[in-house]
Structure 1
Amino acid sequence: MSITGPIAAEHGLPGHLVDFVGALRRHGVAVGPGETVDAAQVLSVIDLLYRDQLREGLAAALLRRSGQRQVFDTLFELYFPAALGAGAGEVEVPRVGDDDDGAVDVEALRDILADLLRDGDIAALTELARAVVDALGRSGAAGSGSQGAGGQPSWSAYQALRTLSPETLLARIMDDLKAGMNGEISDFTDEMLRREIRDRIARFRKMITDEVRRRTAEIRGKEQVAKTAVPKQAEQVEFLSAYADQLAQLRRTVHPLARRLASRLAVRRKHAKRGTLDMRRTLRRSMSTGGVPMRPAFRTRRPGRPELVILCDVSGSVAGFSHFTLLLVQALREQFSKVRVFAFVERADEVTHLFEPGAELSGVMSRVLREAELVAFDGHSDYGGSFGSFAEYWGDAVTPRSSLLILGDARTNYRDPNLTVLRRLVGQARHAHWLNPEPRRQWGTGDSAAMRYADVVPMHECRTAGQLADVVEALLPV
């Protein structure tokens, strides 16, 4: 790989590194001048031909938090590509007929792919991916050489993968492997081999996607491609639009996020040791200085850990937000003297025992929906009915020592919001806050009673884990 030429900006390799760092910052990775200097030193000692070493060296210099590696890897492929244009060492693509203008022989190409997947030859698979994109990935009919906007060529990973269908080669590869072992293979070995081949197929699919992205970036520009190609960091993913894999990744960030919040709270406590001014002790001290209060005296702070009462909507897509928030609170529960959790859909029920220390938290939301009595009629959210049932059966859980936390989107399905009961519960609590995963611009639209509830209890927008962390940090007791 040569860094001179088109990849290098007009200011050379240092300018290119600065562009790369700028792209990381635009996508939420905090990189300071110190990290940039460290990265420059990495470039000065690592042979740029060894991309894996370059990748790991830059990652070690630039990344400081977990959850940023996927963003880094995607941008690294754009700013430090493995090749330019079609690259070198192209694999010969089999064609129907003797000349190069013949149609691609897809079955012969699949045979080559099957052999490489079976043998695990990653270098050859990389070269094959480039050849496949060149032969099958051009937009339009396979191999048509069609042009995109402005007469420029365009490529499609979907088209290349659909034509080649690498996932359908699993059975053929397994038969070849078993034949090489004379058919003597245990169930355990069979499963291990299947997983290994699936991983290789997934890696090849990623090679195709990366190759298409690289060639597109050369035409449209790295910045333009990065806008859609770079994934969001886990803390920037919106709860209500996250799919299953993103929610699973979010849950893996709970404990690192909780540790960060706890450390920030420790700093706040360190800087808030002194309480209010003690006038009596201050005046007594001033007697030795002629009545001038040279040494003010302060009351000793006795921070008490409040009780926390959580009311959370677990219906529909809001359940992902509620689950993450409950896991975060569970990780921070040592900051509170007592935590009680109540879930609701149409009515409320206590589920504290499912979130006790040592409880199995995998699949906990499924247990909440299965074991708790949350539905009274049709299974649609009823905030007013839920507040009413909570006040009737567990109203005494909210005391002057309690902080009341409500989680939900405030969409009542046009039912009575029961503001009277909520106002009474908020009046009983020491503090009360509502965390809403919907964008603020949607509050009060359709069946949302968010603006009416916001008149009773402070409501905070918490669309992402980052926003949630900021709100929770502000609400944690000092």
Structure 2
Amino acid sequence: MSLLDRTVVFTTALRQAGVPVSSAETVDAVRALGAVGLLDRDALRAGFAATMCKRPTYRAIFDTLFDLYFPSWIGDGLSVDGFPITEDDVSGTPEDSRSPGNAADGEHDLELLRQVLRRQLLDVLLRGDDEELRRLARDAVTGFGSSPAAPGKLSWFAYRVLRALSPDTLVANLLSAMLGEQETGGLAERVARQTIAERIRSFEEMVATEVRRRLAEERGVDAVAKTAVKPLVDQVDFLRASQRDLVEMRRRVHPLARRLATRLTARRRLGRSGRLDFRRTVRSSLATGGVPLETHHRPHKPHKPELVVLCDVSGSVASFAHFTLLLTHALREQFSRVRAFAFIDTTDEITRFLRGSDLGDMMARIAAGADLVWFDGHSDYGHAFDVFADRYPDAVGPKTSLLVLGDARNNYRATAAPVFGKLCAQARHTYWLNPEPRTYWGSGDSATHAYADLVDEMVECRNVEQLQAFIERILPSG
């Protein structure tokens, strides 16, 4: 395959992974290839990224696929200095471990290799040499990352390498070497710990990259590319989001809330001044012979947007609830008229917990202080709606937009649909964001059929991308 063909295949893989790359940008990438050449791989990576990555969020996918389609090495690459290892290469090896009677020769050699690589890893992490760290990751994968899969085939695993070298167990030695005679517990230690954590994380990423490269050589680049790339954070399902995904989503929440606030404010400010003032219009037309050349309007009295959020925080939608509480917190900072309520099998107002900027503390305070369990702690939408309507009768009014967040999984309990219908009738708008795929609605204990016709719209909202699309769609008519 020529370099031109490989570049085209690479751009196709980017598109399949969700990174938009146009034909013009593909042409620009080929021009970049001709401009920077192949001798400097980092320059080639930078040139391709400059032509293909429109947003910073695309960079992780780009780097993963670039390493697959433009690998830095073929095969094993370099080997450990002096390999095969001899017993003289390892200092401090216990006498019993060197005895042939204690273990097979292969296991003994692997233990010697492990000790050598750990010693080298300690030295490289201390120096922070990225090139040496990358070489060490390659050698570690060669030594510990493979496992027989089929005749003549190998499978490669990053966890085998990390389990053998255990870089996290080197933190104490690294701290001691970095700090020297300095006192522990101060700023110097915090900086050293952060530096060590970043270098260990870089090593783990290098190991993962090397494992993907080996797998691509065994199975084919296209096959590995389909599974190696994680979805964009905008496309991660709330119900399957990991803790790291939620951290990344948190960065998207506040810009989303600010855009919502800005567009609502602009729409109110740029709207018409108010209803036609017929008397003033007729009076001013007397100066033009009764021809109303200029219309007059009554002063516009824009209402402050009122938002009521009713959020299911049961275990089945824990990740979705985490994200929606973050969104509610961000909206609380943008508007003064936001009330938030959470429920499991009963409802409590949690607006008081949304003050402050410590989101982790907010979650803990809601879990400890909110009255959300009435009977058995399983979702009960019917009882939750009954309690909400009875305990907070003034929460929903004609100026209120009601936003319900939950999967409508009701454990086959009463739905209280008439009560919820009255709430929807009182509100200006009612929207329900459901984190389950639409194909699951109405299956099993899902009560979507009882609620969908009562709200203005029940929306499939499985990820940030769908949430953004929903906001963009409802704002013009809000």
In structure 2, list runs of 5 or more residues that go unmatched: 89-104, 279-294
Does the C-alpha gap of structure 1 residues 96 and 317 become closer, same or farther in structure 2, counting only changes over 3 Å? farther
Find the partner of 2:445 among 440, 444, 447.
Answer: 447
Does the C-alpha gap of structure 1 residues 474 and 116 become closer, same or farther in structure 2, counting only changes over 3 Å? same
**SS at structure 2 position matched to 1:153:** strand
Partner in structure 1 of residue 49 of structure 2: 59
Find the partner of 1:436 among 434, 437, 441.
Answer: 434
Q: CA deviation at 1:313?
A: 1.1
Segment of structure 1 superposing worse, 300-309 or 359-368: 300-309
CA distance, structure 2, for counterparts of residue 200 and residue 265 of structure 1:
45
Partner in structure 1 of residue 124 of structure 2: 116
Does the C-alpha gap of structure 1 residues 322 and 78 become closer, same or farther in structure 2, counting only changes over 3 Å? same
Does the C-alpha gap of structure 1 residues 321 and 341 become closer, same or farther in structure 2, counting only changes over 3 Å? same
CA distance, structure 1, for counterparts of residue 23 and residue 265 of structure 2:
27
Q: CA deviation at 1:254?
A: 1.4
Partner in structure 1 of residue 7 of structure 2: 17
Partner in structure 2 of residue 32 of structure 1: 22
Answer yes or no: is the 8 Å Cα contact 1:274–1:300 preserved in 2: no
CA distance, structure 2, for counterparts of residue 76 and residue 250 of structure 1:
25
Partner in structure 1 of residue 76 of structure 2: 86
Fraction of identical pairs, as percent: 49
Q: CA deviation at 1:213?
A: 0.7
In structure 1, list runs of 5 or more residues that go unmatched: 1-8, 140-145, 281-296
- AA aligned to 1:158 is Y
Q: Normalised by the size of structure 1, how large is the TM-score?
A: 0.80
Segment of structure 1 superposing worse, 367-376 or 302-311: 302-311
Answer yes or no: is the 8 Å Cα contact 1:261–1:469 preserved in 2: no
Segment of structure 1 superposing worse, 361-370 or 201-210: 361-370
Does the C-alpha gap of structure 1 residues 301 and 159 become closer, same or farther in structure 2, counting only changes over 3 Å? farther
Partner in structure 1 of residue 166 of structure 2: 165
CA distance, structure 2, for counterparts of residue 138 and residue 195 of structure 1:
31
CA distance, structure 2, for counterparts of residue 65 and residue 266 of structure 1:
27
Q: Normalised by the size of structure 2, how large is the TM-score?
A: 0.80
Number of matched residues? Answer: 439
1:350-381 Cα distance to aligned partner (Å, 9 max, x none)? 2234446x665443232223232222233222
Does the C-alpha gap of structure 1 residues 68 and 332 become closer, same or farther in structure 2, counting only changes over 3 Å? farther
Q: CA deviation at 1:248?
A: 1.3
Q: CA deviation at 1:320?
A: 3.0
1:431-453 Cα distance to aligned partner (Å, 9 max, x none)? 21211111222223332212222
- 1:271-350 matches, cutoff 5 A: 306-328=305-327, 331=330, 338-350=337-349
Find the partner of 1:107 among 110, 115, 132.
Answer: 115
- 1:27-426 matches, cutoff 5 A: 27-88=17-78, 91-96=81-86, 103-104=109-110, 105=112, 106-139=114-147, 146=148, 148-149=149-150, 151-177=152-178, 181=180, 183-188=181-186, 189-258=188-257, 306-328=305-327, 331=330, 338-355=337-354, 360-426=358-424
Does the C-alpha gap of structure 1 residues 211 and 399 become closer, same or farther in structure 2, counting only changes over 3 Å? same
Q: CA deviation at 1:200?
A: 2.2
Q: CA deviation at 1:238?
A: 0.7
Answer yes or no: is the 8 Å Cα contact 1:408–1:436 preserved in 2: yes
Answer yes or no: is the 8 Å Cα contact 2:311–2:324 preserved in 1: no
1:312-336 Cα distance to aligned partner (Å, 9 max, x none)? 1122252432342344355457997
Answer yes or no: is the 8 Å Cα contact 2:261–2:335 preserved in 1: no
Q: CA deviation at 1:421?
A: 0.5
Q: CA deviation at 1:211?
A: 0.8
Q: CA deviation at 1:337?
A: 7.9
Q: What is the aligned-residue RMSD (CA, Å)?
A: 3.6
Answer yes or no: is the 8 Å Cα contact 1:312–1:342 preserved in 2: yes
